[in-house]
Structure 1
């Protein structure tokens, strides 16, 4: 597939997500904070994932993962995530956004988008360690801009998370939904989990209804 075709497919995917509203993957997390289900309902089957040591020798450079690709009208993939996951959103010149957001990691309500980071649910560095060594630049770009893996959160909670997996970091809010979506993303992208990560996820899921 040509670069132009892949870019067009990415834009179509982003527009489709903007059109249908606030759900990630098959899980239905209430990222808009409007009172719907807060936990994912799709499958989170660890048996579908390969347990393997992290590929710590895999090279990682954030610049090798082209992110915030344009989605048109002066907006990029980051803007699209903020627009989709907020409330009472207005869009000004050069995709200047205003509105209100709830950070699902810590439950904080934010009205200044500059106080938000748009996080990759499974961080780029974690993806690099989990089986993407042979991905092309186009595949890395597709992941880095996939609206299903982008989530606006407070900068402080994102910095706390860093590139850690659930073995060493979990959010203050909705841990069941968080690990369920984590597993769904890894299933979708055929990524591995390490032993400690798998055990931490299993422990969380054991306490979920």
Structure 2
């Protein structure tokens, strides 16, 4: 059992870094439309680092008594210009994304990392919180302020563009109950990275499921 510390200092540092980053972004709605060609894929974790991070995470039962209301986690904040966090994720994780003057993506190509499905209609995509909001609430966030919850809900490092089908299948389940069809190594490494950054806990079944996947992963490789 590892001692769990408050997440407040870490989140304050992350918020400052995010604000500094978004301040440097170029407004995307200066013209009637804009095209954004090649973009990186969805965020994925480092398998080698994840092994050590998992060992350091506090293993505790889920805080099932923590109240969860999605409205308490404000999301899709405007980040710069006319763009909000959802639109930024679609732009960052798509290819040849075209946006209108209000920064709404109207076309492009996205590959959903959970199931490998290629999508060209942004209306058929969801933005998944890698560690779901309800899971965060059960994992040590009971004392978070509204500002801390808002920061997490809009953190680009936890937002993943996926098909609506994959997002519905996942729901708010942790890796003991649900894993993606593709790149499970990258998925669990990213999960561990997020829980580490936000000083969240894992329950025993979750810990064991994460360890089981990592046991079969080459450093930096997919499975």
Q: TM-score range by the shorter chain?
A: 0.7 to 0.9
Q: CA deviation at 1:96?
A: 2.3
Structure with higher Rg: it is 2
The Cα of 1:16 is off from its aligned counterpart by 6.2
- Tell me if structure 2 keeps the 8 A contact 1:86–1:100: yes
2:101 to 93, 96, 107: 93
Q: Which of 189, 192, 200 is matched with 1:180 structurally?
A: 189
Q: Structure 2 matches for 1:108-119, cutoff 5 A?
A: 108-119=117-128
Structure 1 residue 123: deviation in Å? 0.2
After superposition, the CA RMSD in angstroms is 2.2
1:49-198 equivalent positions in 2, closer than 5 A = 49-97=57-105, 98-198=107-207
Give yes or no for contact 1:102–1:109 (8 Å, CA) kept in 2: yes
Match of 2:10 in 1: none
Change (3 A) 1:153 1:186: same
User: What is the CA distance between 1:9 and its match in structure 2?
Assistant: 5.8
Distance in structure 1 (CA, Å) of the matches to 2:161 and 2:138? 23
What is the count of residue pairs matched by the alignment? 190
Q: Which runs of 5+ in 1 are unaligned?
A: 1-5, 23-29, 33-37
Is the 1:14–1:77 Cα contact (8 Å) retained in structure 2?
Answer: no
2:9 aligned residue = none
Instruction: From the superposition, tell whether residues 166 and 15 of structure 1 become closer, same or farther in structure 2 (CA, over 3 Å).
Output: farther
With normalisation by structure 1, the TM-score equals 0.84
Counterpart-to-counterpart distance in 1, 2:166 and 2:141: 26
Other structure's SS at 1:94 match: coil
TM (normalized to structure 2)? Answer: 0.79
After superposition, the C-alpha distances for 1:127-175 in whole angstroms (9 at most, x for unaligned) are 0000000000010011000000000000000000000000000000000
- Matched position secondary structure for 2:49: coil
Q: CA deviation at 1:40?
A: 3.1
